[in-house]
Structure 1
């Protein structure tokens, strides 16, 4: 009989993950062992994780705002900091629903649909539309948002024209990493997530500027635009929004390292 450790040996899994450089090896081992349906399944999952595939893509899900969000290979993994974007959007959606109607929310660059799913779970009523240019992300978002339209296309292009001038909350996590900084990102992101979900152009605001330029045509008169950004990019994001005549303000949540620029129509 072999003296090698069982594939379900917790210490062996932790050791394999540590040797691969996983900082939170204990936590990752617990999750992988819980998810594995057989020794062969565990071995395959470990192989993918050791090769650098994000843990969330290996597991097939990520915890976000208390929900288990499906994450498929190649799809952008929702970050904890984006929970603040969802929190801000929920607060503003409630403020625009004081007459008892369902607030109209559009999630651009929706990725896996995590923000929309969080809003749908938080708000009593919501009319939600989501959009992404990446077919893999759209397929993933449709799994996380059953019953809500998820449109495939570039920003506003695939949205129904009936939404023009009626959107209460336009929530956006567009890519905002400057092109030259992509190579400085962890391999888990730059090698296993869609480049379109990361690359914000030369200064990180190319997509944000396109979002801002289109926002006034889609927002209701008392609607809000929310864009996630970074602390270093915030001034550029503010300028991009101010350039189209909207009034932006910066909101931060330090414990998540989160920065959101919120804008209203003048």
Structure 2
């Protein structure tokens, strides 16, 4: 690992890169050196450096501190109040690309930052990309992240946000829905619980409320060979698969042990 740059902006409170590392380590950051390197590279002034370190040591997610997250090789902009894309969700993208490698119409539902849609567009080449979220902050962020792919981002509640012209045409419908059961939200790490929108985390009593709504509407929007992909947890996977089948879709579960990721894949029966 190369040494921390000594040409990065410094604050009088952090006169050396080692001081930044020490502050992060004291706060409990396991990868303090790596995080310090990212913060030092992102800070443009000594005051900004001090502010970024203060935010990180008080529990703000690193991605929100530096303003971006790495997702499937892309640098995805993330802004305060927007759900931070997780590495495990890269598995959903991989499964979508394998299921529909020739997809031309892609929808990223519950898009958050738009990371899934941007990654799908990067993997597929030119596509008609749409994304939607109920949160205006997420929509603004997703517009920035999907702009290079020509993405159209819509504000609204699930399918209500989408243009009617998409009905029956969607080849990939990716929906990284909230799936934390309501009573478990309080058990989440503080980084998520305190700094990410509740609507992006809380999936209702059993965590599957939004998933069921997506499954119920999906058949009207999927192309004849289109697929729906939804991330869930290991515990919820059997119920999620059952919801797909009850919604009139064929269903299979894909699992990545490495990423601890579970994705239900459905097609029109």
> Is the Cα–Cα contact under 8 Å of residues 132 and 155 in structure 1 kept in the other structure?
yes
Q: Secondary structure at the match of 1:57?
A: helix
- Alpha-carbon distance between aligned partners in 1 of 2:135 and 2:125, rounded to the nearest angstrom: 29
* Structure 2 partner of 1:7: 14
Q: Secondary structure at the match of 1:145?
A: helix
TM-score of the superposed pair, with normalisation by structure 2: 0.93
Given the alignment of the two structures, is residue 218 of structure 1 paired with residue 221 of structure 2, yes or no? yes
* Structure 2 partner of 1:85: 92
- Alpha-carbon distance between aligned partners in 2 of 1:73 and 1:124, rounded to the nearest angstrom: 30
> Is the Cα–Cα contact under 8 Å of residues 8 and 39 in structure 1 kept in the other structure?
no
Larger CA deviation: 27-36 vs 53-62? 27-36
Alpha-carbon shift at residue 8 of structure 1 (Å): 4.5
**After TM superposition, what 4+ stretches of structure 1 lie above 4 angstroms from structure 2?**
none
Q: What is the 5 A alignment of 1:63-78? A: 63-78=70-85
1:182 to 179, 182, 185: 185
- Alpha-carbon distance between aligned partners in 2 of 1:242 and 1:225, rounded to the nearest angstrom: 12
> Is the Cα–Cα contact under 8 Å of residues 109 and 132 in structure 1 kept in the other structure?
yes
> Is the Cα–Cα contact under 8 Å of residues 13 and 50 in structure 2 kept in the other structure?
no
Alpha-carbon shift at residue 5 of structure 1 (Å): 7.3
> Is the Cα–Cα contact under 8 Å of residues 61 and 195 in structure 2 kept in the other structure?
yes
Residue-by-residue CA offset, 1:85-143 (whole Å, 9 max, x unaligned): 1111122231xx3xxxx611111000000011111111122111101001110000001
2:59 to 52, 67, 73: 52
Q: What is the 5 A alignment of 1:23-172? A: 23-94=30-101, 97=102, 103-146=104-147, 147-172=150-175
- Alpha-carbon distance between aligned partners in 2 of 1:14 and 1:176, rounded to the nearest angstrom: 35
> Is the Cα–Cα contact under 8 Å of residues 132 and 156 in structure 2 kept in the other structure?
yes
Number of paired residues? 257
- Alpha-carbon distance between aligned partners in 2 of 1:85 and 1:134, rounded to the nearest angstrom: 22
> Is the Cα–Cα contact under 8 Å of residues 93 and 105 in structure 1 kept in the other structure?
no
Q: Secondary structure at the match of 2:122?
A: helix
TM-score of the superposed pair, with normalisation by structure 1: 0.94
> Is the Cα–Cα contact under 8 Å of residues 167 and 220 in structure 2 kept in the other structure?
yes
Q: Secondary structure at the match of 1:255?
A: coil
* Stretches of structure 1 lacking an aligned partner (at least 5 in a row): none
- Could you say what the CA RMSD is over the residues aligned between the two structures, in angstroms? 1.3
